[in-house]
């Protein structure tokens, strides 16, 4: 039997699959033998035919229906367990590997038997110097969500060699036959999202550590979610709730339920402001599907999003206007806003305070200026980046040209921000008294029925 089983899950991404396979077969495996297994989720773009013609040495497992990433990886993992590969590597189909990506993972886990799964550093394919993630965490105490400290940071010498973490994504990871025999495969109820987080949590609870390493890198397209519909939100939020209801004890359930309720209130309020009614509707469908036991693939709970008004039209901005962005210390919010505005404006002035200057300079190629100097520039608008639009702000950095903006592209002008906060508090008060108790009751029933 060969040493490594490499599993790729594919659905209708033949163009990305071609790049993935090309870089895979150009990789170094030293003296390790390996098999490549592609699990195809009933693709209709010619993927199975391409593999049969161009890569006859690949083991092709064809599903009759689309079982999602969860079902695809589950079938591949069970195949590898049956074939008794010493090491099993999971790969997304929309990645490009470097020559030593996989072998560095294999040799690391071989030398560290306390590690149950090791993952690569993941950079974005469209911006190779920027991290998608490198070792991520799950907050079981307050946020009840994923925490990715290095997301959107530049791939440079400041990164650690190893991150001991809570999970690594199935984008590119290696585990062992020993671990799989103890822990098992992916939970197919997820369809997509939170399946690798659940699996890594089971690995940790079996006594192993989860690591991400710097000397193994892949480039990821991140193309799974269609932002024109609620696909990503529905499966991410449904499976997030499923995950925490599975692992939280009764003492934390009330705090978690409060957090979900607060998130729904915020999501509904700001989606309504933007005319996006599909998003909160899909979230509510996720709750109902969990209550009814409708897991796996649920096409009827996915809605097409309404077209939102451009913020540039909203604030009467022209293409030739001078635009400035004031950045703070949350790199994900900074980059999200930067990339959104960059789609319409090539010339952007980036400013920050002295405390965050080194951080911002290390992550953006443009010249960064201190805010005190930016006030001398005759810009039309200053976009003030926040994690959330309702966060407190330092009035020293605000002037009438300011537009508050967050990672969700919620916006408010300086003159409207206090009215917005008041309107939100009124909406929240209504929800606290009417909707929140009902939602908490549903979450309790879902946990009891699991």
* Each residue's pLDDT tens digit, 360-404: 998 998 889 998 887 778 888 999 999 999 998 777 667 788 899
Percent over 70 (pLDDT), the chain = 98
DSSP per-residue string spanning 327-355: --S-HHHHHHHHHHHHTT-S-EEEEE-GG
Strand 137-138 and strand 95-97: the pairing is unpaired
Give 77-90 as a 3 state SS string. HHHHHHHCCCEEEE
Q: Identify the residue whose tokens are 């929309």.
A: 94
The predicted structure's pLDDT at residue 225? 43
Nearest in space to 221 (alpha carbons), one of 74, 6, 23, 73: 23
Average pLDDT, stretch 420-446? 93
Instruction: Return the SS3 of 427.
Output: helix
The predicted structure's pLDDT at residue 392? 85
Strand 87-92 and strand 59-62: the pairing is unpaired
**Distance separating alpha carbons of residues 184 and 340, to the nearest angstrom:** 41
* Each residue's pLDDT tens digit, 4-61: 999 999 999 999 999 999 999 999 999 999 999 999 999 999 999 999 999 999 999 9
Answer yes or no: is pLDDT of 227 > 80: no
The predicted structure's pLDDT at residue 334? 95
Tell me the β-bridge partners of 162.
213
**Environment class of 316 (CB within 10 Å of its CB; exposed 0-12, middle 13-18, buried 19+):** exposed
Tokens standing for 255? 């705090």
Instruction: Return the SS3 of 212.
Output: strand
Answer yes or no: is pLDDT of 303 > 80: yes
Strand 137-138 and strand 146-147: the pairing is antiparallel
Nearest in space to 55 (alpha carbons), one of 90, 109, 10, 2: 10
**Distance separating alpha carbons of residues 52 and 59, to the nearest angstrom:** 9
Q: Are 353 and 370 in contact (CB under 8 A)?
A: yes
The predicted structure's pLDDT at residue 417? 92
User: Can you give the pTM of this predicted structure?
Assistant: 0.92
Average pLDDT, stretch 441-448? 92
Nearest in space to 116 (alpha carbons), one of 153, 44, 164: 164
* Each residue's pLDDT tens digit, 58-99: 999 999 999 999 999 999 999 999 999 999 999 999 999 999
H-assigned helices in 343-450: 357-361, 371-374, 417-433, 435-449
User: Across 245-394, where does the E strand assignment appear?
Assistant: 323-326, 348-352, 368-370, 381-386
């Amino acid at each position: 039997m060969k040493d490594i089983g490499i599993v790729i899950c594919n659905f209708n991404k033949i163009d990305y699959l071609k790049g993935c396979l090309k870089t895979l077969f150009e990789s170094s495996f030293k003296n390790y033998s390996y098999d490549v297994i592609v699990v195809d989720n009933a693709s209709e773009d010619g993927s199975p035919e391409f593999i049969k013609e161009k890569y006859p040495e690949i083991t092709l497992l064809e599903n009759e229906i689309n079982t999602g990433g969860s079902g695809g990886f589950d079938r591949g993992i069970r195949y590898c367990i049956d074939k008794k590969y010493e090491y099993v590597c999971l790969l997304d189909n929309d990645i490009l590997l470097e020559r030593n990506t996989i072998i560095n993972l294999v040799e690391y886990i071989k030398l560290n038997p306390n590690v149950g799964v090791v993952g690569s550093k993941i950079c974005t394919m469209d911006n190779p110097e920027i991290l998608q993630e490198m070792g991520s965490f799950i907050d079981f105490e307050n946020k009840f969500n994923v925490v990715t400290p290095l997301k959107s940071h530049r791939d440079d010498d400041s990164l650690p060699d190893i991150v001991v973490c809570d999970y690594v994504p199935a984008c590119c990871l290696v585990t062992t036959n020993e671990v799989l025999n103890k822990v098992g495969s992916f939970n197919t109820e997820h369809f997509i999202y939170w399946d690798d987080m659940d699996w890594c949590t089971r690995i940790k609870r079996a006594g192993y550590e989860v690591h991400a390493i710097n000397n193994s890198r892949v480039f990821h397209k991140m193309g799974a979610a269609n932002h024109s519909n609620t696909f990503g939100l529905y499966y991410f939020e449904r499976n997030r709730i499923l995950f925490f209801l599975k692992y939280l004890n009764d003492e934390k359930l009330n705090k978690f339920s409060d957090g979900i309720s607060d998130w729904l209130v915020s999501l509904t309020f700001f989606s309504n402001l933007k005319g996006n009614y599909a998003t909160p509707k899909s979230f509510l469908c996720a709750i109902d599907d969990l209550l009814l036991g409708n897991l796996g693939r649920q096409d009827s709970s996915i809605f097409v999003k309404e077209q939102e008004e451009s913020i540039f039209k909203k604030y009467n901005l022209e293409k030739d206007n001078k635009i400035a962005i004031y950045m703070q210390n949350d790199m994900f919010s900074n980059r999200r806003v930067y990339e959104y505005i960059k789609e319409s404006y090539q010339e952007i002035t980036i400013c920050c305070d002295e405390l965050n200057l080194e951080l911002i300079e290390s992550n953006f190629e443009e010249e960064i200026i201190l805010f005190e100097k930016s006030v001398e520039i005759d810009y039309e608008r200053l976009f003030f980046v926040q994690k959330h639009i309702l966060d407190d702000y330092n009035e020293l950095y605000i002037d009438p040209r300011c537009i508050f903006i967050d990672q969700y592209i919620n916006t408010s002008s300086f003159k409207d921000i206090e009215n917005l906060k008041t309107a939100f508090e009124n909406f929240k008060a209504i929800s606290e008294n009417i909707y929140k108790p009902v939602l908490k009751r549903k979450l309790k029933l879902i946990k009891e029925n699991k």
